[in-house]
Amino acid sequence: MRIQSNYAIKQTPYFGANIIDSHGHSGVKESKWNNAPFPSNTLDEFIKQPLTININGKIQTDNVKKVLVSSIDGLSWAEKQQKEVEASGRNRFNLKPEELIFEKDEIQANIDMINKHKENPIYEVMAVCQPTKTKGKADNIRKLIKENEGIIAGLKFHPQGLMLNADSELYDDYLNLAAEKKLPVLFHSQVSINYDLAEPLKELNWSDPEYIYKLAKRHPDVPVILGHTGAGGAVAHNKAINILMQSIENNDAKLYAEISWMDFVNGEQSRYPESILNLIEKLKRKNCLDRILFGTDAPLGCYGERLVHDKNGRQISAKQSYENTIGRIKSAIENKFGDESESIINKIFYDNADELFFKKHWAHLNHTDSPATSDTIKEGAKKLSKTKLACYITACIAIVGAAAYILTKTPLAKKIANKSK
């Protein structure tokens, strides 16, 4: 659906103005991130307002319809434990994964987000999961889903924060639950990089896309989203993109790419997001443009937690950074793909997430279906509706024609015809 902008200039391309942000976070008033207050209110404020988006000099108004949020408290290392560990001269990496304590457990952290959704339905809940604390049992999340039917939109995992390889068996019960409830799962994906050699490291790589792919292959009917598409810069993004394309080629997992923090320079979105354009091009060739999602990780980074400055030293607001990111990505897509850009933009910024999290045509497929089958089903449904209408009209015409023929051949019709002569 397109919303007419008051700012749209006549005779200029107009792109879909509805947005679903597939990767966000929230908390409560007391929430912290990296021992600093977490700016939950920042996101609350600017997603309620229309966004002014500049697309190659053309101004339009966009609106955020949904943000998929996970609890920052369910991901944060507990401040009390952190202080105790660091006071003893150690760090988190000296702990065993099961020893790590989070600010809130997966019950309370997710109840916070459920309440957030009830206060403002723009927020959709991605339930934070802590398999290291539950010995891999997803019973807490099962109970929350049962008690809050229709509110939890997906599951969220942060292997880096858990210090647990993404292919661990401790994730399996959670993904079995996702398969049962037809829920997508979002993984923080991250390739640790040796920047001197411009190649991936083998250490500290709990969230490596390779591990996520291995897990996804064990659960081929569950949509698994690579959050940040590998993070860590072009080398990391390329590795994640190659793994995504391999999964599509092999048709052995439902991997998706979420594009937050891709092609960032000095803390903000690049005006030429090369990795994003490369991803789009590769997916386009495979007719798999449904596998890419817009996301920001807001309000982290430039969207509230760590504001950036322009070249003149002026601070850029969280809302403006959000608008800049959207405008720069849409501008680059328009420049690269021309007449096809409207369809591509609509898919990335709204349609794909709407299908994945809410409409869920994919839930009626299995992993043996080809990557384009979901689109085929949707198109087929449209064609079927048109066919039904055409058949109905044809039948009506046939009935009227038959009635007319019968009337002209009856004695009464002949008598009337003779009188009129």
Can you give the pLDDT at residue 370? 52
**Distance in angstroms (rounded) separating the CA atoms of residues 322 and 152:** 25
Same domain for 387 and 277, yes or no, is no
What type of residue is 281?
E
Give the pLDDT of residue 368: 60
Q: Are residues 393 and 362 in the same domain?
A: no
C-alpha 325/C-alpha 293 separation (Å) is 14
Question: How many residues are given for the chain?
Answer: 421
Contacts of 298 (CB under 8 A, 6+ apart): 21, 24, 25, 42, 43, 67, 304, 318, 322
Q: Is residue 24 part of a domain?
A: yes
Q: Which amino acid is at 186?
A: L
Residue 230, phi-psi category: left (phi > 0), alpha (psi -120 to 50), beta (remainder):
left
Pair 164, 307 in one domain:
yes
Same domain? 132 vs 279:
yes
Rounded Cα distance, 359 and 284, in Å: 22
pLDDT for the residue numbered 40: 85
Taking only the tens place, the pLDDT of each residue in 46-88 is: 888 899 999 999 999 999 999 999 999 999 999 999 999 999 9
For 326, the token pair is 């959207």
Which parts of the chain sit beneath pLDDT 70?
Answer: 1-15, 194-200, 202-203, 367-421
Residue 39 token pair: 């700016």
The closest of 138, 136, 137, 133 to 96, measured between CA atoms, is 133
Give a yes or no: residue 141 inside a domain: yes
In terms of domains, do 48 and 167 share one?
Answer: yes
Note whether residue 341 is domain-resident: yes
**Cα–Cα distance, 364 to 221 (Å, whole number):** 10
Q: How far is CA 386 from the centre of its chain?
A: 31
Write down the pLDDT at residue 192. 82
Asked if residue 168 belongs to a domain, the reply is: yes
Q: DSSP string spanning 109-144?
A: HHHHHHHHHHH-TTEEEEEE--HHHHTT--HHHHHH
DSSP labels, 11-41: TS-----EEEEEEEEE--TT-EETTEE--HH
Say whether the peptide bond before residue 299 is cis (omega within 30 degrees of 0): yes
237: amino acid identity, one letter: H
Give 225's strand partners: 186, 256
Cross-strand pairs, 188: 227
Query: In this structure, are 346 and 412 located in the same domain?
Result: no
pLDDT of residue 35: 80
Largest CA distance in the chain: 115
Q: Are residues 364 and 386 in the same domain?
A: no
First to last CA, the chain: 59
From residue 320, alpha-carbon distances to 60, 62, 187, 324 in Å are 14, 13, 27, 6
Quick one: pLDDT at residue 349?
A: 97
Domain total in the chain:
2
Residues 225 and 293 grouped into a single domain? yes
Both structure tokens of 91: 């760090």
Q: What is the pLDDT of residues 216-253, one digit of tens each?
A: 999 999 999 999 999 988 989 999 999 999 999 999 99
| 260 and 386 together in one domain | no
Q: What is the pTM of this model?
A: 0.85
pLDDT of residue 137: 98
Do 396 and 351 belong together in one domain? no
Tell which residue, 156, 231, 144, has the closest CA to residue 190. 231
Please indicate, yes or no, whether residues 232 and 139 belong to a single structural domain of this protein.
yes
* Domain coverage including residue 391: 382-419
Q: Would you tell me the crossing angle of helices 274-285 and 318-337 to the nearest 10 degrees?
A: 50
Residues 291 and 415 in one domain: no
Q: How does DSSP classify residue 381?
A: H
